[in-house]
């Protein structure tokens, strides 16, 4: 299904040729059409085949973005924004060709307002770079999707990750964006006030739009104080159910955990093998607490009681940074530990999100599915959000294995939707999840199409993503 979706469409050869000619003339080395550049900008990390753009443009300022949007609008040529290329559902593919806009030369921090806990950055900066920049201010930007993604990309896929349970997702942490719209003009969606009731929430419309409504040129982010103290801990549980019960109680009691991650038994086995650890090979929760010395101790004690009540093992925790890194090593290395299990295989990371009351059932049924179909897959969950990932190891050279993987993803999504969940908690729709989103949201997708047609009447912004028009 994903494959088919990715291939619909036609190319506007004449327009593309004109735009290429013009960009070559105007920007010299900052516009590249070489094979290697193009391939690099359509890299997908799944079975979705790469669809390369016709050229890659590296703007240095928003005026250049305005110029390229106007040019592409005039000639009806697709524009695909590109951050670091870490998206997982084919978001940077160019199914109808066109120009990839790579933001690596637009990665400045434009403004930091420490008193207001906000900053404004260009889209190309990565979250790690931003946090290095902020270090001396006592503030940090908490959203951590795993990859060192760009802020523009994270905004566009409505990213979240391990500590969304405490700090929210990009939806909650973007105060405003500036975007170049279809007429080549730049708009700013909001001021810096922490809240506003002024008209439609256009900020939230751009967050998660995957570049289909305009090209972001700056993002104003909410920042948070670096916690005085960070506590980390680990606790094993006999079953997924018991681990999930502990998560639900933690959330219900309003304990402000910063991270609460669930690794399943197979994942723990991989971690032990890869990192030379000796954890029990049963479902395990990894926690992090942020706060003052007192509140971190308090939260840890509260969780310890909850874990005991739910039948968990000893809750090991520490506020010592080195020991914390050690305790969390299994979680940090989870991806590479899984890959090491079968280095010859490709890895597909897919995600769904369900109401937390359903998390245990959804994971357990997914494990049964994996076993029943003889697949090799492990589960890591942002349990506090009801969001989990399956990392499926498969032979991407084998059509049969790809079909099996696709069938598994379909069953996984149907299962999540059947539990009033969503087909993606944080990866986005891209090309890979269009059919599931249609199933999930029905008539709401028609509203999205109407919005898209209104704001991008020529369908130049990342066409062929989220839905087909």
**Which of helix, strand or coil describes residue 357?**
helix
Check residue 466 for interaction with a second copy (CB under 8 A): yes
Task: Give the binding-site size for a second copy (rule: CB under 8 A).
Answer: 94
Residue 126, Ramachandran bin (φ over 0: left; ψ between -120 and 50: alpha; else beta): beta
* Span near a second copy by CB under 8 A; candidates 20-28, 36-44, 221-229, 395-403: 221-229
| Binder among 105, 108, 188, 326 for a second copy (CB under 8 A) | 188
Q: How far is the CB of 113 from a second copy (least distance, A)?
A: 6
CA atoms within 13 A on the CB side of 347: 17
Q: How far is the CB of 393 from a second copy (least distance, A)?
A: 24
In the window 146-175, what residues touch a second copy (CB under 8 A)?
157-160, 164, 168-169, 171-172
Count other C-beta atoms under 10 Å from residue 142's C-beta: 24
Q: How far is the CB of 227 from a second copy (least distance, A)?
A: 7
Spatial strand order in the sheet of 99-102: 31-32, 55-57, 99-102, 79-82
| Binder among 126, 367, 424, 431 for a second copy (CB under 8 A) | 424
In the window 80-119, what residues touch a second copy (CB under 8 A)?
113-118
| Binder among 7, 196, 314, 403 for a second copy (CB under 8 A) | 196
Check residue 229 for interaction with a second copy (CB under 8 A): no
In the window 282-301, what residues touch a second copy (CB under 8 A)?
291-292, 294-295, 298
Check residue 232 for interaction with a second copy (CB under 8 A): no
Q: How far is the CB of 391 from a second copy (least distance, A)?
A: 18
d(CA 130, CA 141): 8
| Binder among 85, 233, 421, 464 for a second copy (CB under 8 A) | 421
* Span near a second copy by CB under 8 A; candidates 124-132, 201-209, 269-277, 392-400: 201-209
Check residue 195 for interaction with a second copy (CB under 8 A): yes
Q: What one-character-per-residue DSSP string does 155-177 give?
A: HHTT--BTTHHHH--HHHHEEEE
Q: Are strands 55-57 and 99-102 parallel, antiparallel or unpaired?
A: parallel
Is the Cα torsion angle 29, 212, 140, 114 positive or negative in sign? positive
Written as six digits, the tokens of 420 are 């009033």
**Pick 201 or 396: Cβ nearer a second copy:** 201
Check residue 66 for interaction with a second copy (CB under 8 A): no
In the window 429-458, what residues touch a second copy (CB under 8 A)?
429, 433, 436-437, 440-448, 450-455
Q: How far is the CB of 444 from a second copy (least distance, A)?
A: 5
Cα torsion through 173, 175, 180, 181, rounded to 10: 100
**Which of helix, strand or coil describes residue 18?**
helix
Angle between helices 399-418 and 356-372 (to 10 degrees): 150
In the window 14-53, what residues touch a second copy (CB under 8 A)?
none
Q: How far is the CB of 91 from a second copy (least distance, A)?
A: 11
d(CA 37, CA 51): 13
């Amino acid at each position: 299904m994903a494959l088919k979706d990715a291939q619909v469409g036609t190319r506007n050869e004449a327009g593309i040729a004109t735009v290429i000619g013009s960009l070559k003339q105007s920007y010299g080395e900052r516009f590249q059409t070489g094979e290697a550049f193009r391939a690099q900008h359509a890299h997908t990390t799944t079975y979705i085949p790469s669809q390369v753009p016709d050229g890659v443009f590296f703007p240095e300022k928003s005026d250049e973005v305005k110029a390229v949007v106007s040019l592409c609008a005039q000639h009806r040529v697709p524009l695909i924004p590109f951050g670091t290329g870490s998206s997982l559902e084919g978001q940077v593919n160019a199914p109808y060709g066109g120009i990839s806009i790579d933001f690596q030369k637009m990665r400045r921090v434009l403004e930091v307002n420490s008193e207001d806990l906000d900053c404004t950055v260009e889209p190309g900066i990565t979250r790690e770079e931003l946090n290095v920049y902020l270090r001396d201010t006592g503030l940090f930007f908490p959203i951590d999707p795993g990859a060192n993604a760009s802020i523009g990309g994270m905004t566009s896929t409505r990213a979240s990750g391990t500590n969304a349970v405490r700090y929210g997702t990009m939806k909650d942490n973007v105060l405003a964006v500036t975007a170049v719209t279809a007429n080549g003009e730049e708009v700013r969606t909001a001021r810096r006030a922490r809240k506003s009731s002024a008209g439609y929430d256009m900020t939230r419309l751009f967050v998660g739009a995957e570049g289909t409504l305009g090209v972001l040129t700056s993002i104003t982010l909410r920042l948070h104080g670096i916690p005085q103290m960070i506590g980390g801990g680990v606790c094993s549980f006999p079953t997924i159910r018991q681990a999930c019960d502990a998560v639900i109680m933690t959330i219900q009691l309003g304990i402000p955990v910063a991270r609460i991650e669930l690794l399943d038994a197979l994942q723990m086995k991989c971690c032990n093998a890869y990192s030379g650890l000796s954890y029990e090979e049963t479902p395990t929760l990894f926690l992090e607490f942020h706060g003052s010395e007192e509140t971190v101790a308090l939260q840890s004690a509260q969780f310890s009681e909850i874990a005991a009540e739910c039948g968990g093992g000893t809750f090991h925790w520490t506020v010592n940074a080195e020991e914390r890194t050690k305790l969390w090593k299994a979680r940090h290395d989870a991806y590479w530990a899984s890959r090491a299990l079968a280095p010859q295989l490709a890895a597909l990371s897919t995600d769904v999100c369900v109401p937390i009351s359903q998390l245990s059932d959804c994971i357990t049924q997914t494990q049964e599915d994996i076993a029943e179909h003889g697949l090799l897959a492990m589960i890591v969950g942002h349990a506090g959000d009801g969001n989990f990932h399956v990392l499926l190891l498969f032979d991407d050279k084998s059509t049969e294995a790809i079909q099996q993987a696709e069938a598994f993803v379909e069953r996984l999504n149907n299962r999540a939707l059947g539990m009033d969940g969503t087909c993606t908690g944080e990866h986005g729709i891209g090309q890979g999840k269009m059919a599931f989103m249609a199933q999930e949201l029905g008539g709401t997708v028609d509203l999205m199409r109407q919005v898209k047609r209104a704001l991008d009447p020529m369908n130049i912004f990342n066409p062929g993503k989220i839905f087909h028009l």
